[in-house]
Structure 1
Amino acid sequence: MQTPGELSITVRSYRASDRQACQRLFLEGLIGGRIAEGDAGSDIDAIDAHYMADEGSRFWVAEVPDAAGVPLVVGMVGVLTHQEGTAEIRRLRVDEQFRRRGIGTALMEQAVRFCQENNYLRIILDTYMDRDPAIKLFEKFQFRHGRTRKTEAKDLLYFYLDLYGRRVPEGE
């Protein structure tokens, strides 16, 4: 049973009809309104081709019902095959109005579970230093900070999670 104020979150595979919502989430999540150095953002314009065409990659959206009960896309995350045995979590975004309500956790659970089911040994991801909520979420899932790279704008932090036999507890 849902308590008042609790969201009913559904995480599902991306559909072409989600494209506009995902582009909006991507643009709203840009630091200073600019695409990061070395990131063209072209995957967001072609999610099917980048994330859905290969068995080892996938993209999901998180939905919550609006006031009329119509599903509203409020979050997204993707997993890309990075190299043999390694997956990269990319494009984790949650609409600012819906943050700190379990959506990021639900998306990360889905992404990590997918990596485990596809027998990846390691997951990598990165974020900028000023993304404290994201860093706390990564730490919650036991990602470790591997290194930091200075960019012209901000420090870019790289994280990894070794999956050797690790299982994501339900409801973590």
Structure 2
Amino acid sequence: MNIDIKPLSLSNIKIKDIQKFLFNHIKEEFGYGYVPSFHNDIVNLKDTYLTDDRNNFYVATNDNGKIIGCIGVRGYDKHFEEFEGVYFKDTTASIWRLMIDSKYRRKGIGSRLVKYVEKFSESKNYQNIYLHTQRNLPGALQFWQAQNYSIIYDSNNEYTTVHMIKNII
């Protein structure tokens, strides 16, 4: 099985295909569809990930060119009260939308996508990488800890959100 990972560009993969992959995956994993406050970056994929050279989006495809995974990275742009004055867009990258087709999980694809993001983030002089995940996603927290991300805040909220960080310099 040959897996190809490439940064998204306007010429290599149709944005609509990625959006469809993402929304199908969200429906499968979380049981709901489009939520404007959660999914603005998906609807505006081009503007969010392709117009700023410090942002990027990677897509994994199989031998047939089918999208089987993806990950986005952008300067930290969330406004969580817990992190006011701690993380900044210029120094902290943030990971978004790491999703792997369920038939391709546990084959190292997620880890490879994370390595692409980490290399990219280093090349853009970010100092650390932030992400958040949910405790109720099977294997998610363990996956990120295996990638050497550390829990910085467990919100214990209705979404079971866990915030994580990795220093890269």
**Alignment TM class, shorter chain as reference:** 0.7 to 0.9
Change in CA separation of 1:36 and 1:112 when aligned onto 2, cut-off 3 Å: farther
- Read off the aligned partner of 1:26 and give its amino acid letter: L
Q: Which has the higher strand share?
A: 1
Q: 1:20 aligns with which of 16, 30, 36?
A: 16
Measured in 1, the distance between the counterparts of 2:122 and 2:100 equals 23
| CA shift digits 1:53-95 (9 cap, x unpaired) | 1111001100111xxxx21111110001111210000011111
Aligned residue number for residue 158 of structure 1: 163
Measured in 2, the distance between the counterparts of 1:150 and 1:127 equals 12
Aligned residue number for residue 98 of structure 1: 104
Measured in 2, the distance between the counterparts of 1:95 and 1:103 equals 10
Q: 2:117 aligns with which of 64, 89, 111?
A: 111
Q: 1:10 aligns with which of 4, 11, 19?
A: 4
Deviation at 1:132, TM superposition (A): 3.3
Contact 1:18 1:73 survives alignment (8 Å): no
Q: 1:77 aligns with which of 67, 71, 84?
A: 71
Could you list the structure 1 runs, at least 4 aligned residues long, displaced by more than 6 angstroms after superposition: none
Measured in 2, the distance between the counterparts of 1:116 and 1:132 equals 29
| Residue 32 of structure 2 is aligned to residue 33 of structure 1 | yes
Match of 1:137, SS state, is helix
Measured in 2, the distance between the counterparts of 1:12 and 1:36 equals 27
CA RMSD of aligned residues (A): 1.8
Aligned residue number for residue 57 of structure 1: 55
Deviation at 1:25, TM superposition (A): 2.7
| CA shift digits 1:120-157 (9 cap, x unpaired) | 101000111112322222112200011112333x3100
Match of 1:127, SS state, is strand
Specify every segment of 5 or more residues in structure 2 that has no aligned partner in the other structure, as ranges: 77-88
Aligned residue number for residue 128 of structure 1: 134
Specify every segment of 5 or more residues in structure 1 that has no aligned partner in the other structure, as ranges: 1-6, 165-172
Measured in 2, the distance between the counterparts of 1:110 and 1:116 equals 10
Deviation at 1:38, TM superposition (A): 4.5
Match of 1:61, SS state, is strand
Q: Give identity over the alignment, percent.
A: 22
| CA shift digits 1:17-66 (9 cap, x unpaired) | 33233223322332122457941x1211221110111111001100111x
Normalising by structure 1, report the TM-score. Answer: 0.80
Bigger drift between 94-103 and 84-93 goes to 94-103
